[in-house]
């Protein structure tokens, strides 16, 4: 019996995380923008451990699933990947918070969400929450971007 695709994807992600965790052992410096008296491995390992946890959930759901997965990748997956790729590239120019705001608007629209009041709340509260938690409470400095630096 062929394993469910969720199980296979989860295993591939676990292998990726294992390799990435091993690579973080070679991190000797924290970029100046992130240096907050934390080891250079902290944030990468934090993200990787979250991915590991979600991969385990994916594997377990694949093991429990009896239905055959849909072989066709929905177009929203590709659109989402494109929006995130463009957002990462735009961060250096616009800065993290304007890009987070735009992604909070664009992604729900791409996913055919039409409750505009929810999109507005997301666009307002997601960047604000990230700013408050990471910049104010944890003291993490995010890259500003060329446009944001021009106004400061």
pLDDT of the residue at 5? 77
How many helical (H) and strand (E) elements, i.e. helices and strands, does the chain have? 6, 0
Q: Of 145, 70, 79, 146, whose CA–CA distance to 110 is shortest? A: 79
Q: What is the pLDDT of residues 39-63, one digit of tens each?
A: 767 777 888 899 999 999 989 988 8
Residue 145: CB partners within 8 Å, gap ≥ 6? Answer: 91, 92, 93, 94, 95, 96, 98, 99
pTM: 0.59
Q: Which two tokens stand for residue 137?
A: 């409470």
Q: What is the percentage of the chain residues whose pLDDT exceeds 90?
A: 34
CA separation, residue 115 to residues 41, 105, 119 (Å): 40, 11, 7
Residue 23: CB partners within 8 Å, gap ≥ 6? Answer: none
- DSSP code of residue 75: H
Q: Which two tokens stand for residue 126?
A: 């997601």
- Which range scores top for mean pLDDT: 33-42, 65-74, 129-138? 129-138
**Higher confidence at residue 4 or residue 120?**
120
- Which range scores top for mean pLDDT: 7-16, 31-40, 61-70? 7-16
Q: What is the pLDDT of residues 111-136, one digit of tens each?
A: 999 999 999 999 999 999 988 988 88
pLDDT averaged over every residue in the chain: 84
């Amino acid at each position: 019996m062929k394993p469910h695709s969720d199980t296979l994807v989860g295993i591939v992600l676990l292998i990726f995380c294992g390799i990435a965790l091993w690579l973080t052992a070679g991190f000797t410096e924290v970029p100046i923008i992130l240096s907050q008296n934390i080891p250079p491995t902290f944030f990468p390992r934090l993200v990787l451990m979250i991915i590991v946890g979600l991969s385990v959930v994916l594997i377990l759901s694949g093991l429990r699933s009896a239905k055959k997965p849909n072989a066709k990748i929905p177009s929203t997956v590709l659109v989402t990947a494109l929006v995130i790729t463009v957002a990462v590239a735009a961060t250096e120019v616009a800065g993290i918070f304007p890009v987070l705001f735009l992604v909070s608007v664009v992604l729900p629209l791409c996913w055919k969400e039409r409750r505009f009041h929810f999109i507005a709340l997301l666009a307002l509260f997601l960047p604000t929450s990230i700013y408050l938690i990471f910049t104010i409470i944890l003291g993490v400095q995010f890259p500003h971007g060329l446009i944001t630096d021009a106004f400061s």
